[in-house]
């Protein structure tokens, strides 16, 4: 019986999609360069509401879903692969988050979603000890492969908001909102991809990423992002940094496809910093901007399917013979920029963490958590009848008979419900493990 349940569960996980929705599936998967990333699906489940419990959960061996509750403060590391770090509604991380392996051991298969990240401390100036150059970014990805960052709100990074460095590869970044509230230093930078022109041994043919449906906003001056080496794809994004020196910088040996984005009131939307860089611009909307909007060269096309917002259907107003060719991008910009329902940490999960310890309301049945699995134990004297369904109501196993003394083992995961259909004496349906 256990083999059957595991096979069905594996099929469910393979079918999980990654569409944008404010009510979101914690088992969703990304598209783009991070296609195939599953995070902690099928592993243990922990909820952390303080720095000690979060650090412990992130360091736990094996796959795991780690939910963050309320506000936690500290410097946190995701250095164990096969992890999903998911913020419950309103979750805030004050400090910094590092998805960090080593040159000898990359961390792989990591998902981070629905967190507001606010650095601790202040900085001024751009050079020397104690200045912004001496600090870290709010989010830093280094020596990592297969990473999805989604629905994050990042404000006031010290060195920067979010950086990807040291041979990291195969990343998707989506629905991220960035800004600065401080205005007293020129070091109000967003994102650095590749830390140095001299790091080709690690970065060449890596640093590949997809960045879509995100917002760069108030008081960001540069790096939206600044890119070295990477074969990158940016689409469906909104740039509203009115004080920017530049938006996207195509630096050393970068290869960028920049399409169907909306640049609104920013200077230098496309900054070709290296004459060998390729930064192909197509289908972009430029409103009240100055500087380069042309780009340079033909970029390498991405190896995955995707849909642009330029394809949004338009019905021409009465008396107008043709539609606005940028209708879809105006609609996209309004959607992404919405402070409540657009980019940023605004998700509610379809399924919350399951409490698996304690005694079930069904007489004689007990649910316990053990080494990354949920055990349902029949401690009574009667035969019990269970069923397994998805949260959407699809029945996977209509009848599982659990004899007295027997146990059923399931991976700890989300998206499934175990129902007690009754005993041989016909008790009614009750939900287990919630």
125 in a structural domain: yes
Same domain, yes or no, for 131 and 198? yes
Is 421 found in the same domain as 302? Answer: no
Residue 185 has pLDDT above 70, yes or no: yes
- Say what the pTM is: 0.79
- Of 349, 378, 405, which marks where a domain is finished? 349
- 284: CATH: 2.160.20.10
* CA 277 – CA 286 distance, rounded (Å): 22
Query: The CATH number of the domain where 374 resides is what?
Result: 2.60.40
Give the pLDDT band (50/70/90) at residue 427.
low
Q: Is 50 contained in some domain?
A: yes
For residue 179, tell me if it sits in a domain: yes
First to last CA, the chain: 22
Residues 309 and 236 in one domain: yes
Q: Is the pLDDT of residue 5 over 50?
A: no
In a domain, 6, yes or no: no
With respect to residue 356, please indicate whether it lies within any of the assigned structural domains. no
Considering its fold, how many domains does the chain have in total? 2
Which contacts of 301-306 are long-range, i.e. CB under 8 A and separated by 24 or more positions? 301/257, 302/32, 302/33, 302/210, 302/233, 302/257, 304/31, 304/32, 304/33, 304/35, 304/210, 305/31, 306/31, 306/32, 306/210, 306/212, 306/233, 306/235
> Are 88 and 189 found together in one domain?
yes
Q: Out of 120-124, 245-249, 324-328, 389-393, which region has the weakest mean confidence (pLDDT)?
A: 389-393
Which range has the worst mean pLDDT, 13-22, 48-57, 147-156, 373-382? 13-22
Domain check: are 86 and 116 in the same one?
A: yes
Same domain, 389 and 321: no
Q: What is the pLDDT of residue 12?
A: 37
Q: Per-residue pLDDT for 39 more than 70?
A: yes
Task: Note whether 231 and 325 are same-domain residues.
Answer: yes
Domain of 425 in residue numbering reads as: 365-431
């Amino acid at each position: 019986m256990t083999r059957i349940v595991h096979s069905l569960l594996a099929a469910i996980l393979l079918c999980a999609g990654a569409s944008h929705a404010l009510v979101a599936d914690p088992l969703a998967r990304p598209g783009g360069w991070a296609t195939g990333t599953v995070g902690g699906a099928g592993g243990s489940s922990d909820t952390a509401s303080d720095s000690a419990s979060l650090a412990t959960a992130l360091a736990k061996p094996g796959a795991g879903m780690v939910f963050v509750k309320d506000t936690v403060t500290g410097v946190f590391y995701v250095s164990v692969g096969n992890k999903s770090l998911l913020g419950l509604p309103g979750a805030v991380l004050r400090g910094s988050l590092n998805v960090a392996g080593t040159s000898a051991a990359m961390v792989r298969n990591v998902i981070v979603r629905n967190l507001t990240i606010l650095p601790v401390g202040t900085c001024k100036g751009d050079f020397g000890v104690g200045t912004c150059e001496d600090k870290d970014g709010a989010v830093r990805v280094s020596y990592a492969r297969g990473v999805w960052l989604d629905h994050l709100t990042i404000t006031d990074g010290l060195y920067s908001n979010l950086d990807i460095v040291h041979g990291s590869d195969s990343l998707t970044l989506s629905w991220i909102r960035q800004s600065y509230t401080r205005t007293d230093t020129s070091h109000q930078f967003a994102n650095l991809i590749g830390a140095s022109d001299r790091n080709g041994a690690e970065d060449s043919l890596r640093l590949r990423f997809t960045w879509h449906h995100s917002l760069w906003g108030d008081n960001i001056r540069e790096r939206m992002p600044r890119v070295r080496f990477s074969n990158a794809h940016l689409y469906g994004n909104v740039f509203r940094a009115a004080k920017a020196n530049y938006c996207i910088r195509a630096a050393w040996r970068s290869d960028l496809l920049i399409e169907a984005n909306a640049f609104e009131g920013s200077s230098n939307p496309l900054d070709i910093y290296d004459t060998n860089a390729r930064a192909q611009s197509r289908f972009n909307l430029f409103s009240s901007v100055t500087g380069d909007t042309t780009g340079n060269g033909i970029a390498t096309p991405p190896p995955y399917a995707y849909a642009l917002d330029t394809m949004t259907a338009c019905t021409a107003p009465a008396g107008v013979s043709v539609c606005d060719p940028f209708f879809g991008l105006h609609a996209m910009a309004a959607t992404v920029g919405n402070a409540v329902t657009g980019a940023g940490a605004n998700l509610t999960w379809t399924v919350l963490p399951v409490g698996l310890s304690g005694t079930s309301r069904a007489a004689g049945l007990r649910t316990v958590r053990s080494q990354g699995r949920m055990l349902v134990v029949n401690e009574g004297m009667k035969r019990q009848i269970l069923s397994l369904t998805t949260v959407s109501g699809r029945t996977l196993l209509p009848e599982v008979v659990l004899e007295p003394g027997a146990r059923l083992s399931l991976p700890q995961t989300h998206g499934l419900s175990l129902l007690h259909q009754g005993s041989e004496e016909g008790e009614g349906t009750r939900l287990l493990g919630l």
